[in-house]
Structure 1
Amino acid sequence: MTGLAFSTAADIAGRIRRRELGSLEATDYFIERIERLDGEVNAVAVRDFDRAREAARAADRAVEPVGQLHGVPMTVKEGYHLAGLPTTFGYPELKDNTPDWDSDCVARYKAAGAIVLGKTNMAYAGADFQTYNEVYGTTNNPWDLERIPGGSSGGSSAALAAGLTPLEAGSDIGGSIRNPAHFCGVYGHKPTFGIVSQTGHSTMLTPGPATDLVVCGPMARSAEDLTLSLTVVAGPSNLDAPGWRVDLPRPSKQDLADYRVAVWADDGNSPVDHEIAERAASIGETLSRLGARVSDTARPAIDVRGGFETYLELLHSVMAAGVGPEQTEKNQRYAAETEPADRSDRAIMSRAMVLSHAGWLGANGRRERLRYAWREFFEDWDILVCPQMATPAFPHDHSPMQTRTISVNGHSQPYFQQLFWSGLVTGPYLPSTVFPTGLSSGGLPIGLQAVGAAYHDHGTIEFTRLLAQEIGGFQAPPGY
């Protein structure tokens, strides 16, 4: 059992398949770690250990494996429906919001044989770079308990980093898979929009429509596990399944020397810490040394600031759908107070919160033009390497969001300016894999994005798998 804490899901699945390890043995192992170590991290918010053990015993009795994850323990983000357990999104008033059915993603993991140990903590409303709420409290980063694990899938990344689970299911609209992966030094994949069903990732107790920009995706400690997990969950909702299926292109490159890689290390729209920019540049240098074609100036033919504004409009029109009448009235007042010529982030977000359908269609049209521009860019380049966040994990800050700032290279930046690098990718529906690159000078993880053309999800993941052979992959934090 030595080393099981940080084994990959694929390795655990292989050992169970070969009868070298029992599912109950593995399940009990991770339950013991959660009970012993999670008190200070607070990652696994909702525990379902009795049912997990029952499912593990059934897996051990099975004559043949039922799927690729047969007998493998895992956890899922709190925002996914898991029959019999509450789905709150951190809202205290939803503490008894208990579905009697599994989300599509959870059902697919179970159909592949996975054993769900419980659900991990998330940011309130899924709308923060940090993970805390009144229902489950604050989740801490295993690398430094005084710092954030990211959000909104912060419980997911913290559980993986601390060796409390081999595999996780996260979700993303503004970096909620990617920034926790960066802050905790794990892998996270934001799929192309629409290739993984959202059904049951919601507070609604009946199936609802997919939400624009939102994606459900895997988090893990290796690129191999991202591939395995994506293979399990990719596919349309059960409602759409009769009419279409997902058939993603397989990776066409087998060696890093074959890649064409653009490196976007920094940008004036959202400057990043010098150390993060240098790390991105060093990845480019490594790839160039290995024979890859690398450019640090190649960019898509887009108005970068305009593209970010379009993303902010689309994002905040989504967020507005989840607020009550009182907040809607406030949003209308804020929007009315902004000058039409004001293109500050705050003004754009305020107007987007009360955007008309005609206004949304205009933003959607601008997004479509971005999608075509990115498609042209990826005809010449296979991968874009860029930052995910401006800094490594920062200290917890529960002050009002509108007043928060982040210090970057000694300068104060608006808190939500950090959406820039996420929105660059999310707005046009692109896939992105965040991969660990080692530690900062302060001993905190630094992750970067590997972005690819729409639907080339396996290509971005495979790139990070090959890159890990050169620069290394996941590192366990001290003490775990």
Structure 2
Amino acid sequence: MAWRVVLWLLWFPMWLLKCVMKPFISLRYIRRSKKLPPIRNKLLLHSATALAHMIRNRQVTSEEVVKAFISRIRDVNPLLNCMMDNRFEAAILDARYVDRVVQTGAKSEQQMAKETPFFGVPLSVKESIAVKGLKHSAGQLRFEGRRAQEDAEAVKLMRASGAIPLLVTSTPELCMMIETYNKIIGTTNNPYDLRRTPSGSSGGEAALLASAGSVIGLGSDIGGSLRIPAAFTGIFAHKPTPGVVSHSGHNPTSTDENWGRFFTIGPMSRYAEDLAAMLKVLAHENADKLQLDEKVDIRTIKVYYMQDDGGSVLTNGVSREIKEAIARVVEYLQTTHAIVAQKVDIKEMRHANALSGPIIIQLNGITSVHRTDVHPKPWGSIFMDLLRFCTCLSDCTFTTICYAILKKLSLLIPTAKLQKLKNRNESLKKEFSQLLGNNGVFLYPTFIDCANFHLESYYKMLNLSYTMIMNALELPVTNCHVGMNKQGLPIGIQVVAAPFQDRLSLAVAKEIEVAFGGWVEPPASEKVA
């Protein structure tokens, strides 16, 4: 009952905010959007897997590839505002080393492909994930000068695979918002419409990838931070089975022993074929558990789907275009592979906010702007920071203050009630496990609509339940790009699998990419001659 009251207390101000803000937003963005420069260098249009193959075969040098991406980043960043820091000069030196190794012939092509599958390929990284020597503030103004002393484990593994980090990309403060804004560089824009958000918290990473400023990247996810940005920008992203990929070197982090059950670092890419290869690298010692080298026969996969959450009163309705996208994927799988897809009605999905919110909010020791080791009286500091924010004197963003308030409100939930919610969550987890088994996937919306105008997300927060429930259920999920809507905005859906069956959702993602065309170049300001 207590958490239901909290949810309704959240719903009312969001409804009020929508009434106030929607007319303002509609008027503010009546102007047309500027467009990105066109993609002139065709090297930018290859997948990371293809680029690595070309470098190994001496069809192109790593230096040429790295310089092509650096040039593209410099072209698009003034419009996207997604770069927090870079290592361009060091990356060129890394690329020259790769080229010397290739030229010497010391290693065969097969050896390089096996040991260093991304040899010479550029990599971008969300700024909350440590890259040695680059900024690592997680969007906090008070820590703007903080630099990573060493690579996060995920970055180390990608370097070991031959990838060359180029830059770190923008994130909202402490990754606590689905709109990418921080007080260090400001707002990050969506390449398909600069008036709109790429979402968050991996929004800078998604915006750069979608604009062809990068080809593969690393993001993180505890409530949809990989998947919603990918959906808003028309790329692919994978939230792995929890515990498979190391989350060391991430800011924020948590001392809670359950942190790794719900939070994960994961791969992002313009091309679906790169995700499995990246996951194999990132999983490292756990890769065998995922059986990523096992060939997947699409015809044997069982497909289940829901086109909305079943009618929650706390969420908005899913747009017709997203429902139709799920229907098109189902129809394609049925007609092309003779798969009998089954529409299901999982009753508990309409209670996703209640089942996922308390479990994640109540994790202890999460890095925040109100940690008790910094503030002896955290509730008093929250009140003061809220007051400072209202008078434009706070160096914190509104959502980090809201998190602290939600954290305090969640403490009102009686222990018995929280345990009941956890039991219901466990029951739903078993239901999904039985439904999917070792050869099933579940199709589900990533979000209720496509890329929002800036500020719209503030009154749509409760719709995070579509992605957050998958974190609470500890399921692997791939966001898949399924064409464009009538406004020229990307449409994304989730493909969910059972734990350690990541290969199934990744295989379906590749099939969807083939069927629906995959990534689409953002509109350009001029045509290439």
1:444 to 486, 489, 493: 489
Does residue 389 of the first structure (1) align with residue 438 of the second (2)? no
Q: 2:318 aligns to what?
A: 272
The total of aligned residue pairs comes to: 446
2:328 to 282, 300, 310: 282
Consecutive unaligned residues of structure 2, counting only runs of 5 or more, are: 1-39, 384-403
Query: CA-to-partner distance for each residue in 1:354-399, whole Å, 9 max, x for gaps?
Result: 768887666555433332221111139611111101111111118x
Does residue 5 of the first structure (1) align with residue 44 of the second (2)? yes
Amino acid at match of 2:360: L
1:458 positional shift: 1.3
Consecutive unaligned residues of structure 1, counting only runs of 5 or more, are: 237-243, 333-345, 406-414
**How has the CA–CA distance of structure 1 residues 41 and 419 changed in structure 2, closer, same or farther, with 3 Å as cutoff?**
same
In structure 2, C-alpha distance between the alignment counterparts of 1:277 and 1:180, rounded to whole Å? 19
1:255 positional shift: 4.6
Amino acid at match of 1:94: F
8 Å Cα contact 1:195-1:246 kept in structure 2: no
2:143 to 62, 69, 94: 94
Amino acid at match of 2:437: E
Instruction: Judge which range, 185-194 or 353-362, deviates more.
Output: 353-362
In structure 1, C-alpha distance between the alignment counterparts of 2:180 and 2:410, rounded to whole Å? 25
In structure 2, C-alpha distance between the alignment counterparts of 1:348 and 1:133, rounded to whole Å? 20
Q: 2:477 aligns to what?
A: 432
1:28 positional shift: 0.9
TM score, norm. by length of structure 2:
0.78
Query: CA-to-partner distance for each residue in 1:166-210, whole Å, 9 max, x for gaps?
Result: 10001011110000110000001011111100000125799x995
Q: 1:409 aligns to what?
A: none
The structure that has the greater radius of gyration is: 2
8 Å Cα contact 2:243-2:261 kept in structure 1: no
SS of the residue corresponding to residue 483 of structure 2 reads: strand
8 Å Cα contact 2:218-2:268 kept in structure 1: yes
Query: CA-to-partner distance for each residue in 1:12-67, whole Å, 9 max, x for gaps?
Result: 10001111111111111111111122110112221111211121111112243451
**How has the CA–CA distance of structure 1 residues 103 and 151 changed in structure 2, closer, same or farther, with 3 Å as cutoff?**
same
- Over the aligned positions, Cα root-mean-square deviation in angstroms equals 3.0
SS of the residue corresponding to residue 234 of structure 1 reads: helix
Pick the structure with more helix per residue.
Answer: 2
Map 1:4-83 to 2 at 5 A.
4-62=43-101, 63-64=106-107, 65=112, 67-83=116-132
**How has the CA–CA distance of structure 1 residues 350 and 144 changed in structure 2, closer, same or farther, with 3 Å as cutoff?**
same
Map 1:61-140 to 2 at 5 A.
61-62=100-101, 63-64=106-107, 65=112, 67-140=116-189
In structure 2, C-alpha distance between the alignment counterparts of 1:168 and 1:85, rounded to whole Å? 16
Q: 1:294 aligns to what?
A: 341
Map 1:360-399 to 2 at 5 A.
364-379=422-437, 382-397=440-455
Q: 1:234 aligns to what?
A: 283
Q: 1:191 aligns to what?
A: 240
In structure 2, C-alpha distance between the alignment counterparts of 1:251 and 1:58, rounded to whole Å? 30
Query: CA-to-partner distance for each residue in 1:428-469, whole Å, 9 max, x for gaps?
Result: 110110111111111100011111111111110011112222
SS of the residue corresponding to residue 495 of structure 2 reads: strand
In structure 1, C-alpha distance between the alignment counterparts of 2:214 and 2:438, rounded to whole Å? 39
SS of the residue corresponding to residue 444 of structure 2 reads: strand
1:279 positional shift: 1.5
8 Å Cα contact 1:198-1:210 kept in structure 2: no
**How has the CA–CA distance of structure 1 residues 281 and 50 changed in structure 2, closer, same or farther, with 3 Å as cutoff?**
same
Of structures 1 and 2, the one scoring higher in RCO (CA 8 A, sep 6+) is 2
TM score, norm. by length of structure 1:
0.85
In structure 1, C-alpha distance between the alignment counterparts of 2:188 and 2:512, rounded to whole Å? 30
In structure 2, C-alpha distance between the alignment counterparts of 1:479 and 1:188, rounded to whole Å? 24
Q: Identity of paired residues, percent?
A: 30
In structure 1, C-alpha distance between the alignment counterparts of 2:500 and 2:438, rounded to whole Å? 16
In structure 2, C-alpha distance between the alignment counterparts of 1:178 and 1:429, rounded to whole Å? 15
8 Å Cα contact 1:43-1:155 kept in structure 2: yes
Amino acid at match of 1:20: Q
Map 1:400-411 to 2 at 5 A.
404-405=458-459
In structure 1, C-alpha distance between the alignment counterparts of 2:131 and 2:65, rounded to whole Å? 21
8 Å Cα contact 1:130-1:154 kept in structure 2: yes
Does residue 176 of the first structure (1) align with residue 225 of the second (2)? yes
**How has the CA–CA distance of structure 1 residues 353 and 315 changed in structure 2, closer, same or farther, with 3 Å as cutoff?**
farther
